A and B are shown apart, each in its own frame.
Chain A
Amino acid sequence: MWQALYEELADSNFVVISVAMDKTADDARPWIEAAKPTHPSLIDTQHLVADLYNMVNVPTIVWIDEDGRIARPNDVAFGRDTFKAITGVDSAKHMNALRAWVRGEAQAMTPDEVRSLRSLPTGKHQEARAEFGLAFWLYEQGRNEAAERHFLRGGELAPDDFMIRRGSMPMRGIDPMGPVFAKMLEEWQSAGNSYYLQLPD
């Protein structure tokens, strides 16, 4: 999905690192084979990156500068507009800002802006991630009933964490695009919450 942008900007000392939050490499494989990325395209079954960066949904993007510093904190961005009607997120705005930053035509955020816009995890988020960690380990052991308890507990502790609530569905035999997800989304949004947390303009 980001391969075209990577190719476009490859001469500008820029790399895309994509990380699939899927339960196995084989779940991500069809997407990767279709995209044919020449940039690093990684698999994160245990949601390590989600934990390190406090990511609660996909897609989540982060800009990192040449010194390894966060230049733009967690934001929602898509590589194309396939689902724009559903998500309400326009891919071009982020893409153009990214191009300008990579080419040196525009500054990224100041450190203070990054600090004020980033999201830090709460104790509940980290408890929820421990529940996910236990659940995933139990799932890999084939102890599905026990795994279910901890996937659910994780979602109860951090209701905004769709990396857990939706991301666990394929491991629980639930269609992540199906009626269970639709109901979850409806309840979340009708309570006044956003499903995609975009940074302000």
Chain B
Amino acid sequence: MREENFTIIDDGSAASVPATVRDDQIRLDHADIKRALGWELKSEGFCREAACVPVPEASSVVTDAGVDLLQFARLIDRPLALDAEERAAYLGTSAGDRGEALATLQAPDFTLPDVEGKLHSLSDYRGQKILLVAYASW
């Protein structure tokens, strides 16, 4: 089957990888999974940093045709928004991971630009009391 460029956005940053697309089945080479998402296929499963997720023997996540993206996302417990027609998918963060972070009561850190493009991190203001306000023009 013909390989095409497919975009995977992992928590906001986009990478283009070759993929075969058939309906909602997106298959990628495991080397491209590693390049785009940082997960390496080893004998113990898919590994990133210290964490490894075993690949169940009976599953069809990994076949000779490549890694099935939807099944891979499920395996690593990440929500995946997919548009096969647009050749793009977005890998989000699971409720479990968000809940775990919030359970510590530590305010999640972030870095964002101001209107001039200068970056600020929440953690720059450690040592002060902070009122965080999310608002919008809408």
Stretch in contact with the other chain, from B29-37, B57-65, B80-88: B80-88
CB–CB B129/A170 < 8 A: no
List B contacts of A137 (CB < 8 A).
7, 9, 14, 88, 90
State the total of A-B contacts with C-beta under 8 angstroms. Answer: 223
- Proximity string of chain B (121-134) to chain A, C-beta cutoff 8 Å, 1 when within and 0 when not: 01101111111111
Measured in the bound complex, the distance between the Cα atoms of B105 and A118 in whole Å is 10
C-alpha spacing A42/B122, complex, angstroms: 11
Q: Are B79 and A123 in contact (CB under 8 A)?
A: yes
In contact, A52 and B133 (Cβ under 8 angstroms): no
Per the bound structure, the CA–CA distance linking A1 and B137 in Å amounts to 12
* Chain A, Cβ-Cβ closest to B82: A134
Q: Is B5 an interface residue (CB 8 A)?
A: no
- Contact indicator B132/A19 (Cβ below 8 Å): yes
Chain A residues with CB under 8 A of B120: 17, 40, 42
Q: How many residues of A contact B (CB 8 A)?
A: 85
Given A32-B115, A68-B107: A150 touches B83 (CB 8 Å cut-off): yes
CB B105 to nearest CB in A, in angstroms, measures 5
Question: Once the chains bind, are B112 and A63 in contact (CB under 8 Å)?
Answer: no
Closest to A29 in B: B115
Binding site for A on B (CB under 8 A): 7, 9, 11-12, 14, 79-83, 85-86, 88-95, 98-99, 101-103, 105-110, 112-115, 117, 120, 122-123, 125-138
